[in-house]
């Protein structure tokens, strides 16, 4: 793993997804994708793709800049910005964008990984 490595996933959320989420959260569904569902895209990327299995979240900061529309492909991306092998730590930039380039949210994550390489 090295600085510049990146992974992304694209997903759209439907009204049914929001209804299911609202049922779990105990709230009425709104007109936009809830922020926790956007944040979950980063959890997926970090735990499955980069760094992958065995990753432990230590910190995440996200700045939500625009509402995420329903039935729209949203692309979440994580990119390695710093690797600290001696501490088993990896810093990543995270962002989620709509097809027109609108940044839905951006921020950073700090994760601990068993084997970050050198």
User: Going residue by residue through the chain (118 aa), what tens digit of pLDDT does each one get?
Assistant: 899 999 999 999 999 999 999 999 888 888 999 999 999 999 999 999 998 888 999 999 999 999 999 999 999 999 999 999 999 999 999 999 999 999 999 999 999 998 776 5
| Confidence (pTM) | 0.90
Locate the domains of the chain by residue range: 6-112
So what's the architecture of 6-112 in CATH? Roll (3.10)
Give the Cβ contact number of residue 76 at 10 Å: 23
Q: Which residues contact 65 (CB under 8 A, 6 or more apart)?
A: 103, 104, 105, 106
57, 96 Cβ separation under 8 angstroms? no
């Amino acid at each position: 793993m090295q600085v510049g490595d990146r992974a992304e996933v694209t997903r759209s959320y439907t009204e049914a997804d929001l209804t299911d989420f609202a049922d779990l959260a105990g709230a009425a569904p709104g007109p936009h994708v809830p922020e926790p569902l956007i944040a979950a895209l980063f959890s997926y990327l970090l735990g499955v793709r980069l760094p992958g299995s065995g990753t432990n979240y230590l910190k995440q900061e996200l700045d939500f800049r625009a509402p995420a529309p329903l039935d729209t492909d949203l692309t979440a991306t994580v990119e390695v910005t710093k690797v600290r092998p001696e501490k088993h730590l990896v810093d990543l930039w995270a962002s989620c964008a709509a097809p027109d380039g609108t940044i839905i949210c951006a921020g950073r994550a700090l994760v601990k990984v068993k084997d970050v390489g050198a």
